[in-house]
Chains A and B, each alone.
Chain A
């Protein structure tokens, strides 16, 4: 662990900071989540570090709780997307034949519609609740993880050491977990970072459109929606989530880049 570049360290530090803030939100937030404590759109002061929002709630509190919701949803959706996508992808690559064909053609079909449009179509008939959001986002996004996992696994699958394992008589489970997975892990972990960022952006977008997290629950996209009318009066409250999302996304990106670069090549060292 001694060769971590500075950029990755910065990334790790901020990523950890955001996650800790999300976990300990009730301890950190100065006020209650939905508590009206001041006037509408008060500027920042010692009392309200970031000012207040469109109905007079403390913005810092809203941001911390909003981060908690956003990060929770993004994390859960990433977990779903990742487990579904990578397990099915590697399974398809190892099985080949009609299983691979069916799964891959189905994924092609889903991916021929933009994810956001598909999500909107689905959300027009399903109840908009947090578990539903996580499920819809996770499953739609798992198609991308599926493609990557399958491509990586197909590349590894044709290598002679996998053939050697098959000819030795090893079971499919051994081939997946001992031969393929250790070699597929680092591109997949790097992708996990990118998927997480995408989920943060995705859930923020949905909330902004009014189809994500429902008020009074706070989340970063929702904060923009609540405060967007202030923009035309020159009140920048709606821009605060931009800063939070951008720093989180860049931090995770830096970490993912490092993970990917560390072991790009299969012949590379022992990562």
Chain B
């Protein structure tokens, strides 16, 4: 066995936190993590937010972001402890031996310089290649990463190429100086699902062809399973489990890893359409004020009482616009919406209080969906007061009932949103919607800002509440796993049109149209070799490239 390329021993990392109203103080965010990485191997670092995975990744470049400081332990790269190195040596390491690919390439490229200048900068600066050779190498990498017009794309500016392309350019930037190790920090998280697999494949091939070692950081176990050799599972700054991809995916030992692997285990039987639909969307065409093109074209969907209609699509598909049209925030140009047997007025300002009450909404960012100056009790209590005129003890009794329904309990009544976790916030938003006793709730990406296990809890709660309250959900999401978990009917949206619509089983069974096929096949699956299989069998190019 050769020496490990990267050897981390008992790494401890601290940070200064500035809680509002308190004195700033230091906390430890990584508590003694150790691992080895052999040359040419890929190690996946996986965990939820706050697990410390990015921080550990950046420590291999002796770098701490913001107020983060490495407080103890050793990090050996190519046989040197870089935590003891001088600044000059660390500069040679960064951009030479170890390079970095960030989550947001759009922010990580300097807007004032061409892509080529930035891709070759480190190679030239570190004296690895002459400018000429570096440029030739960059062009070869552009071609290898599947970028269009590889000979000229370098002369463009970052804002002139798409997000998926820029993420590949960032990979070229990292690979250009022939590093020994590349740190990939959630490189595909910001991309649409159909774009993600192309970039993922490009990264995987580039790693294989150049023989570079990599740390691949992500929160998505299915993604990391496609590119890594080994996986390290992290939680709250501690290592939970370390093993080969095969072992982690197929035979997880720790309870936490098992939960991560089996997430989205919800079983939900599809219900068939009953009675009259609670919501009928008919021939809706809509555009935003001051623009010249329609974002929705002739959309028709139905939602039945006590059931869930999932509206699924990528960014720009018009799924959120549909929600705005239904709530009356964006009156449509054509078409009409009937709700509970009545025709809804297009503009919400002219709707009756009864219409407003029966159609509630839950938002993606629970953070900004609640007034930070109101307590949980006030937030949930206002609809009770506003719609039902409840006051005093009666109101409080109902608030407590609702808090129990969302599994939080009475003690939360006087808390402020800032004192709640992400999942708890979303639960309070659910309670606020339920307080109005609605017939229907629009759920706009309600789980996409949450960690998988927390999101799972929210979905279970929503399904449970649906049984008790017989409320219908219009569930807007880009995540097909969520769709499978909770829907009765599905509408697949693409470029403002409903591409495919029907019962869950029917929509998710072949034969597919080309777009639905692309979308369904692009969802990472937690098994080895999935990525290659998909790329080989695809009928249609993804739009993001």
Binding site for B on A (CB under 8 A): 3, 159-161, 163-164, 166-170, 178-179, 182-183, 262-263, 265-271
Contact = CB atoms under 8 A, between A and B. Distances in A.
Given A161-B371, A179-B371, A167 B361 contact: yes
B365 interface: yes
Contact of A3 (B22, B348, B357): B22
B20 A263 contact: yes
A250 B55 CA distance: 41
A270 B375 CA distance: 9
Nearest to A169: B356
Contacts of A167: 327-329, 348, 356, 361
Q: Max chain B CB contacts within 10 Å: which of A160, A167, A183?
A: A160
A267 B367 contact: yes
Nearest to B415: A270
Interface string B311-345: 00000000000000001110000000000000000
Contacts of A271: 20-21
B21 A262 contact: yes
B25 interface: no
A170 B386 contact: yes
Nearest to A265: B20
Contacts of A166: 348
B382 to A, nearest CB: 7
A182 B361 CA distance: 23
Interface in B431-448: 432, 436
B351 to A, nearest CB: 8
B363 A160 contact: yes
A263 B22 CA distance: 11
B369 A164 contact: yes
A24 B470 CA distance: 69
B370 interface: yes
A90 B504 CA distance: 47
Nearest to B375: A270
B372 A266 contact: yes
Contacts of B327: 167
Contact of A163 (B329, B383, B386): B329
Contacts of A182: 371, 373
B418 interface: yes
A267 B372 contact: yes
A159 B356 contact: no
18 contacts: A3-B22, A3-B23, A163-B329, A164-B361, A167-B328, A168-B356, A168-B386, A169-B357, A182-B373, A265-B20, A267-B367, A267-B372, A267-B417, A269-B21, A269-B416, A269-B419, A270-B418, A271-B20
Contacts of A270: 373, 416, 418
A268 B20 contact: yes
Nearest to B348: A167
Contacts of A268: 20-21, 372, 418
Contacts of A3: 21-23
B92 interface: no
B353 interface: yes
B393 interface: no
Nearest to B367: A267
Nearest to B364: A160
B348 A168 contact: no
Contact of B372 (A168, A170, A183, A262): A183
A161 B370 contact: yes
B383 A160 contact: no
Contacts of A164: 361, 363, 369, 432
Nearest to A5: B23
Interface string B362-399: 01010111111100000000110010000000000000
B427 to A, nearest CB: 16
A160 B386 contact: no
Q: Which 7 A-B pairs have the closest CB atoms?
A: A268-B20, A160-B369, A182-B373, A269-B20, A160-B363, A169-B356, A159-B368
A267 B369 CA distance: 11
A271 B382 CA distance: 21
B421 to A, nearest CB: 13
Interface in B1-23: 20-23
Contacts of B419: 269
Interface string B397-437: 00000000000000000001111000000000000100010
Contacts of A183: 371-373
A262 B19 CA distance: 11
A168 B21 contact: no
A240 B370 CA distance: 52
Contacts of A269: 20-21, 416, 418-419
A160 B417 CA distance: 14
A82 B348 CA distance: 33
Contacts of A267: 367, 372, 417-418
Nearest to B416: A270
Contact of B369 (A161, A168, A169, A263): A161
A182 B373 CA distance: 7
A266 B365 CA distance: 14
Contacts of A178: 371
Residue of B351, B365, B368, B419 with most chain A CB atoms under a 10 A cut-off: B368
Contacts of B416: 269-270
Nearest to B19: A269
A166 B353 CA distance: 11
Contacts of B361: 164, 167
Nearest to B432: A164
A183 B382 CA distance: 18
B20 A169 contact: no
Contacts of A179: 371
A161 B22 CA distance: 27
